[in-house]
């Protein structure tokens, strides 16, 4: 789960990382009230989970009540790369002397955590990384050892920040590492981490991505949820706990396992069709999950045929078949189904489906044949 900036800052504050005082608001009046209370100048910041909001006009400095009102009303409701701004973060403006970059994430290749720190923070950090890799000081951290203070200090020294920033940066990085590990984050990133003319260091932005697998031990995360801007299909899928990505083609796809689901999209493409979605029903899916998946696909008006591609390992064929039969009873499916069922208990599954086969439910023995049939049916559907 990705957090909005203001949520990330709330998390940072809990771990003792200094952030600017501010308020999250969702109306113009509340924005003005917060700005008056914080004292001018303030920064009005769009809360969206996409980069480039500054360039899109989603971050503005306000020097008085009138400007706060103007900026808040302009930014609320703004569409930034498909993300509609519903929340603003009103923050006391900071004097910036220098901008740094700091992050922790997993280095999959090294199988250890990686801290990155650069004196060249700001918007173009990826370009800095590509052109001058030495401008980013890196530290690999064995999770068993954690990040000891002396190692952290040595790392900060390597990054060649302003010497006045050293102590503040060390303290923030130690806290940020705790926020990353104890907070069960996949990523914590501060860009920029700033040095003020008074010599203070603090986080001016916050990017935090939480590990959904750890939600069971973080009941406090419930306050973060429910604010993503999902389309109707994605919302429906989320309610059913399905891994769904909406695409714009005509062949609805249901598969078990992310790899097979991706592969199914690839094959549909290769035989001349276009996938309407990526949908992974996961391992061990039962009849209910399959029925729910079909409801989600059925809610997509573009879908002209449905390709169910199941290779059961942990998923059992008879459960898949029961789910399809249930779904056929529960919902009026607009599009015909092509199914390819293989693996664990596939024969039991095919036996269940046999009684229901028709021109609306076709079974094919291989992935390629099923893809071809699904694409043909989709073409016929579009022609109608």
The footprint of other proteins (CB under 8 A) covers 2, 49-50, 101, 103-109, 111-114, 116, 125-126, 129-130, 136, 142-144, 181, 184, 186-187, 189, 191, 207, 209, 211, 213-214, 216-217, 245, 247, 255-260, 262-263, 265-267, 269-270, 275, 278, 283-284, 311-314, 342-344, 366-368
State yes or no: cis peptide before 192, omega within 30 of 0: yes
Distance in Å, CB of 31 to other proteins, minimum: 25
Nearer CB in complex with other proteins: 36/211: 211
For 12, the enclosing helix (H) or strand (E) is helix 5-14
Contacts of 209 (CB under 8 A, 6+ apart): 1, 2, 3, 185, 186, 187
Catalytic annotation present for 97: no
For 349, the enclosing helix (H) or strand (E) is helix 346-354
Nearer CB in complex with other proteins: 107/295: 107
Give the residue ranges of DSSP H helices in 201-279.
Answer: 232-239, 258-270
Helices first, then strands: H and E counts in the chain: 12, 18
Closest CA to 11 of 228, 190, 213, 201: 190
Alpha-carbon torsion angle 273, 274, 280, 285, nearest 10: -40
Distance in Å, CB of 365 to other proteins, minimum: 10
188, two tokens: 């914590």
Nearer CB in complex with other proteins: 9/71: 9
Distance in Å, CB of 224 to other proteins, minimum: 14
Q: Edge-to-edge strand order for the sheet containing 361-363?
A: 243-246, 277-280, 251-255, 305-312, 337-343, 361-363
Nearer CB in complex with other proteins: 371/377: 371
What gap in Å lies between CA 190 and CA 186, rounded to an integer? 14
Distance in Å, CB of 136 to other proteins, minimum: 7
Catalytic residue among 67, 99, 189, 319: 189
Distance in Å, CB of 66 to other proteins, minimum: 34
Q: 143 near 112, Cβ under 8 Å?
A: yes
Catalytic annotation present for 347: no
Q: 114 near 140, Cβ under 8 Å?
A: yes
Nearer CB in complex with other proteins: 38/307: 307
Distance in Å, CB of 338 to other proteins, minimum: 16
Q: 61 near 93, Cβ under 8 Å?
A: yes
Catalytic residue among 101, 177, 180, 244: 101
DSSP-based three-state secondary structure for 108: coil
DSSP-based three-state secondary structure for 371: helix
Nearer CB in complex with other proteins: 116/352: 116
- Residues designated catalytic: 101, 189
């Amino acid at each position: 789960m990705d957090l909005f900036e203001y949520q990330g800052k709330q998390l940072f504050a809990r771990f003792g990382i200094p952030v600017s005082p501010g308020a999250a608001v969702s109306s113009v009046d509340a924005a003005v009230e917060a700005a008056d209370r914080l004292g001018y100048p303030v920064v009005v910041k769009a809360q969206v989970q996409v980069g480039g909001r500054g360039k899109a006009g989603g971050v503005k400095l306000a020097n008085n009540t009138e400007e706060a009102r103007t900026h808040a009303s302009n930014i609320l409701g703004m569409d930034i790369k498909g993300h509609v701004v519903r929340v603003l973060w009103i923050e006391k403006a900071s004097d910036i002397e220098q901008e740094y970059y700091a992050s922790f994430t997993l280095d999959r290749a090294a199988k250890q955590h990686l801290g990155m720190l650069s004196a060249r923070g700001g918007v173009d950090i990826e370009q800095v990384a590509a052109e001058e890799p030495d401008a980013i000081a890196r530290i690999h951290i064995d999770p068993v050892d954690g990040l000891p203070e002396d190692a952290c200090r040595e790392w900060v020294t390597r990054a060649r920040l302003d010497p006045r920033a050293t102590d503040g940066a060390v303290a923030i990085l130690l806290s940020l590492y705790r926020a990353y590990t104890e907070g069960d984050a996949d990523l914590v990133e501060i860009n920029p981490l700033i040095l003020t003319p008074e010599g203070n260091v603090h986080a001016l932005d916050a990017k935090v991505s939480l590990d959904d697998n750890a939600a069971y031990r973080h009941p406090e995360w419930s306050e973060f949820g429910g604010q993503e801007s999902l389309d109707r299909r994605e919302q429906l899928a989320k309610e059913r706990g399905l891994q769904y990505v909406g695409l714009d083609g005509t062949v609805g796809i249901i598969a078990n396992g992310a790899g097979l689901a991706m592969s199914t999209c690839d094959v549909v493409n290769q035989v001349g069709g276009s996938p309407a979605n990526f949908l992974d029903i996961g391992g061990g899916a039962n009849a209910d999950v399959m029925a729910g998946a079909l409801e989600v696909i059925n809610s997509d008006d573009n879908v002209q045929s449905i390709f169910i591609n199941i290779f059961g390992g942990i998923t059992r064929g008879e459960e898949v078949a029961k789910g399809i039969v249930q779904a056929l009873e529960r919902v009026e499916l607009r599009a015909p189904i092509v199914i390819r069922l293989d693996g664990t208990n596939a024969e039991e599954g095919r036996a269940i489906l046999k009684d229901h086969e028709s021109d609306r439910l076709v079974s094919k023995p291989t992935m390629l044949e099923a893809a071809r049939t699904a694409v043909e049916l989709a073409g016929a559907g579009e022609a109608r």
